[in-house]
Amino acid sequence: MVYFKKFKSGLRMIVVKNEQLFSVSCGIMAGVGSAYESEKLNGISHFIEHTTFKGTAKRDSFSISADSEYLGSRLNAYTAKEVTLYYIKSTTDKIDDSFEILSDIYVNSTYPEEELEREKGVVIEEINMSDDTPDELCLDLLSEAFFSDKGYGRTILGSKENVKNFKREDILKFREKYYTAENTVIVFAGNVNEKQAESLVERYVEGKLPTGNRILAPASDIKFGVKTVKKDIEQIHLGLAFRGEKLNVNTEELSVASTILGGGMSSRLFQRIREELGLCYTVYA
């Protein structure tokens, strides 16, 4: 059963109920990611995701982790091209307290100056780790070659120079623009009913976010090019991309096509390039 509600503020909620489970997963998603960023602010969505865990009006960084772990809940987040998602998973009997923690960091984060400076080092090391992981670097270069160096061509992590230069006012201004009620979706999935979910949202989120219209990611110019980076490693990592269909096509059909092409050991790419020719260890689509 799927239940949808739109609140007065424009905030949207989806509940996917499954009474066979003993747990509930809940996510609060802001409709913003690296595709929305300018060159100067590239990486700020991801940096905000990190620093949102660094303190609220009622919890410091350690308390956020300790309070969620005390409940046996799993609290985390990730940033993508178009969205930033904060999520928590808990047993059904702990969902009230778990959602309070999740909503607290989304609504009430304070971004202490000293925590921001400390976290810059963490994110820079994450960039270093990505640069040292050839398959991740290959995908970043593929996006940059295909979409140019703006919009969808921007990396999620951004550059080390950008991260060093982010200021607290940049974060607050960016949040004010994108972390609005109209640009936020809350999803509950698991053993939870819609009335309980609605009550939690009304108690902790509704009316507490800035208002503002939903913002779509700017269009990215598609160009066909080649990006090459030489590294002192034993393998070559190669990525290919081509223009796809518009978003209103049947995504299930595209998923099936992708699986046939490179989704497993029986896929055409795997059978031909690895099994028949022995040219690679990993190949996928």
Element (H, E) at 85: strand 84-91
For the record, the structure tokens of 200 come out as 């939690």
For the record, the structure tokens of 42 come out as 């590239």
Of 165, 166, 145, whose CA–CA distance to 222 is shortest? 145
Of 152, 105, 163, 174, whose CA–CA distance to 130 is shortest? 163
Cα–Cα distance measured from residue 19 to residue 143, given in angstroms and rounded to the nearest whole number: 41
Element (H, E) at 29: strand 23-30
| DSSP output for 91-130 | EGGGHHHHHHHHHHHHHHB---HHHHHHHHHHHHHHHHHH
Cα–Cα distance measured from residue 259 to residue 269, given in angstroms and rounded to the nearest whole number: 10
Alpha-carbon Rg for the chain in angstroms? 21
- Cβ atoms 185, 14 nearer than 8 A: yes
SS3 label, residue 143: helix
- Cβ atoms 68, 98 nearer than 8 A: yes
> Residue written as tokens 């120079």?
161
Q: Which residues are catalytic?
A: 49
For the record, the structure tokens of 99 come out as 């959602």
